[in-house]
Amino acid sequence: MNILHFEDLNTESLQHTLLKKQIEKVEKYSGPLDPLNYFLSLIDLTYSEADRERRISEHTMRTMADEVMENNQDLMKQAEELKASQERYFLASEAANDALWDWNLQTGKVYYSKRWREMLNIPDDKITDTIEDWFSRIHPDHRKIVKQSIDQHLQGITNKIEIEHQLKTEQNQYLWILVRGLTSQKDGKVIRIAGSQTDITFRKHYEESLYKSAFHDELTGLANRALFINRLDQVISRTKRLGEKGAAVLFVDLDRFKYINDTLGHEMGDEVLKIVAKVLQNHTRATDTVSRFGGDEFTVILDPIYHLDEAKAIAERILKSLNKSYRITRKEVHIASSIGLTLVTRTMTNAESVLRNADLAMYQAKSGGKSRLEIFDQTQHEKLLLKMQIEADLRYYISRDKLLVFYQPIVDLKTSKVASFEALLRWFHPKRGYISPVQFIPLAEEVGLIGKIGQSVLEKVILQLKAWIDEVGEEDCPHIGVNISVRQLMDDNHFDLIILTLKALGDYCRFIHVEITESVIIKDPDLMIKRLEEITVLGIKISIDDFGIGYSSLSYLHNFPFDTLKIDKEFISGMMIEKKTEQLVKTMITLAKDLNLKTVAEGIENIEQMKKLQELGCTYGQGYYFSLPLRAEDATSIVVQQSFQTKQSKITQ
């Protein structure tokens, strides 16, 4: 059945290009198949190709859907893992109470966690996502270091950001914050920085209080000695290095603080110290350092100081404010202080030497009459240094009982016999040699050692006296003169001790002479008379020493219970040269006789002097002409010898 003829087909009306091409192909076909079957094979192929395309298309869609599903599941799994990880991180950060931030450097936006806002008390609607939200809250003093820390990390100099700084809360309070952060890179480019933020305010305050207690005085809040020395060392090294500006150190010591403490109580003492601290702070600048150095000592670094006058002005203002009365718990308390000032110069090597200079200046202010400002002076310093060394040595010698008592004979000018000895203190220093009492007694008085020394001499004399009585008997035992200073007499404790010591001597007191100087007469005469009478009651005789050079208040002489008048050696040596002096000596001897006093001429050096004095009717003589002060054993020899001679003459009589 071959009803289809291709030549009859009207292909013009056909739309489909392929179909038209197929018909054309069949028309040109010259193969083994008949045209219809060939045409059918082409049509068949077309359907097959279309089916194949559809099949592949469907398979592709299915495969893609599967793949997308698979990817989706992977993504969901990753999302879940991510969520779990985020939750873990959230819990961890919540537990750590840390806040989080994440700064995308590509978009410039910053993510701030909820905790971040809470930490700073920022309402949710207030914060945006800019870096300014953070940076504008950083304390102005810390902005530079925070930016520096971030920059250094961005440049790869540091391997992380870790910086402590202060951040302002919404209520304008500053918190201490520890920020940690790390960068994240993509293709070698930093794309974000993220990290945590921890509130370390509590820790910081704790550290500060620890620091304070380590370096500050609890009572006054001032720097303590350690911090002061540390600061001073810094100032010294800076001055040495740069030199263009100097500094000054004040050493402030309260006068009579012990007295305040003892009389008004420690609480009052503490209040006084607080006032002093306040005064010092009020008169110093922010760059200065005020410290409580210890007890009632305060030190100040004035920094910078360009001229001594500048430091002096500040010190004087302080002195003025410190030397007045303050009303403390309804009591009027007078505060006074002495201030030593020294400059810190390039030659200073350490805090110790600067402090020593300031301390020395203060010491001078004290010894110069207190409530003063004294500026450190190198020559004075050297003198003072010597004095201080002697003082230290003296204390050492006293404590070891190494001061010696020498005995100088006092001779009866009629009989030429030794009537008594004056006990004299002698100090032989292994390095300095013989140190005169003229040199160390005033020092001992100044530093309050005189009582101790005086008591020691008295005790030694008593022992010696007893030894001599044992040796030669009461009859032949000479008297011993002991010097007692005004201070010993004035001080209640010392005086009580003297009386107590003498009383123990009992009847032997009659062998003791107490020698006092003229100065007793002007210092509280009524008390002196009273005290001297207490001594004479014991049977002790009183000599007035070095008579004539001092106060010459002859009118007082009769009011005092004196027994002997000792004419100063100045008159004795001058007597042979000047007639006027001889006249004076004569008058003194006459006066003494009138007042029923015996006389001792001091410092007789030759026979002429002795003869003259004999002539003038002086009772006793003392001096090198007769004998130098003698060691106890040598004096003992004389005592023994004289006793022997006395006894011998009795036999011969």
Partner 1 sequence: MQVEHGLFNCENTSLPSAVKLKDTAQLVLYFGAKDSLQQCDIYEKLHSLYPNAIIAGCSTGGEIIERDFNEDSCVYAALYFEKSEVKAVSAVLHNPEDSFNVGKKLATELSKKDKLKNIFILSEGLKVHGSDLVSGVNSVVDTTKITVTGGLSGDGLRFEETLVGLNEAPKSGQVVCLGFYGDDLEISWGSYSGFDNFGPERIITKSEGSTLYELDGKPALDLYKKYLGEEANNLPGSAFYFPLAIWPQNEKSEWSVIRTILSIDEKNNSMFFAGDVPQGWKVRLMWGKFDNLVDGAAKSAECAKPQKNDTFSILVSCLGRKALMGQRVVNEIEQSADTLSKEIQNNTRIGFYSYGEIAPHSISKIPVLHNQTMTITTFSEK
Q: Which residue in the set 22, 289, 357, 564 belongs to the binding site for partner 1 (CB under 8 A)?
A: 22
Pinpoint the alpha helices (H) of 400-553: 437-446, 450-476, 486-490, 492-503, 519-522, 525-536
Using the minimum distance from each CB to partner 1, give the nearer residue, 28 or 285. Answer: 28
The rounded distance, in Å, linking the Cα atoms of 410 and 481 is 9
Using the minimum distance from each CB to partner 1, give the nearer residue, 17 or 415. Answer: 17
Cis peptide before 304, with omega less than 30 degrees from 0? yes
Report in angstroms how near the CB of residue 41 gets to partner 1 at its nearest.
11
Using the minimum distance from each CB to partner 1, give the nearer residue, 44 or 615. Answer: 44
For the chain, what's the residue count?
A: 653
Q: Which residue in the set 21, 114, 245, 580 belongs to the binding site for partner 1 (CB under 8 A)?
A: 21
Report in angstroms how near the CB of residue 48 gets to partner 1 at its nearest.
8
Listing DSSP states for 276-328 in one string gives HHHHHHHTS-TTSEEEEEETTEEEEEEEEESSHHHHHHHHHHHHHHHSEEEEE
CA distances from residue 337 to 252, 260, 320, 329, 367 in whole angstroms, order as listed: 7, 13, 9, 21, 12
Strands (E), 311-412: 324-328, 331-344, 373-375, 404-412
For residue 532, count CB atoms less than 10 angstroms from its CB and return exposed for 0-12, middle for 13-18, buried for 19 or more.
buried
The structure tokens listed for 556 are: 């007082």
Residues that contact partner 1, how many (by CB under 8 A): 21
Using the minimum distance from each CB to partner 1, give the nearer residue, 45 or 628. Answer: 45
Report in angstroms how near the CB of residue 109 gets to partner 1 at its nearest.
23
Q: Which residue in the set 2, 10, 15, 17 belongs to the binding site for partner 1 (CB under 8 A)?
A: 17
16-24, 392-400, 494-502, 645-653 -> range binding partner 1 (CB under 8 A): 16-24
User: Is the separation of the CB atoms in 420 and 481 below 8 Å?
Assistant: yes
Report in angstroms how near the CB of residue 80 gets to partner 1 at its nearest.
20
User: Would you give the binding string for partner 1 spanning residues 57-76, x where CB under 8 A is met?
Assistant: x-xx--xx--xx--x-----
User: Is the separation of the CB atoms in 272 and 220 below 8 Å?
Assistant: no
48-56, 202-210, 447-455, 545-553 -> range binding partner 1 (CB under 8 A): 48-56
Using the minimum distance from each CB to partner 1, give the nearer residue, 14 or 385. Answer: 14
| Alpha carbons within 13 A on the beta-carbon side of 492 | 0
15-23, 249-257, 389-397, 511-519 -> range binding partner 1 (CB under 8 A): 15-23
Report in angstroms how near the CB of residue 72 gets to partner 1 at its nearest.
10
Closest CA to 383 of 441, 309, 448, 439: 439
- Judged by DSSP in three states, 246 sits in strand
44-52, 209-217, 264-272, 360-368 -> range binding partner 1 (CB under 8 A): 44-52
Q: Which residue in the set 46, 234, 345, 573 belongs to the binding site for partner 1 (CB under 8 A)?
A: 46
Residues 175-234, interacting with partner 1 (CB under 8 A): 187
Q: Which residue in the set 9, 23, 36, 42 belongs to the binding site for partner 1 (CB under 8 A)?
A: 42
Report in angstroms how near the CB of residue 14 gets to partner 1 at its nearest.
13
Cβ atoms within 10 Å of 366's Cβ, excluding its own: 18
Using the minimum distance from each CB to partner 1, give the nearer residue, 59 or 331. Answer: 59
Is the backbone of residue 174 left (phi > 0), alpha (psi -120 to 50) or beta?
A: beta
27 in contact with partner 1 (CB under 8 A): no
Using the minimum distance from each CB to partner 1, give the nearer residue, 21 or 320. Answer: 21
Report in angstroms how near the CB of residue 6 gets to partner 1 at its nearest.
18
What residues line the site for partner 1 (CB under 8 A)?
17-18, 21-22, 30, 42, 45-46, 49, 52-53, 56-57, 59-60, 63-64, 67-68, 71, 187
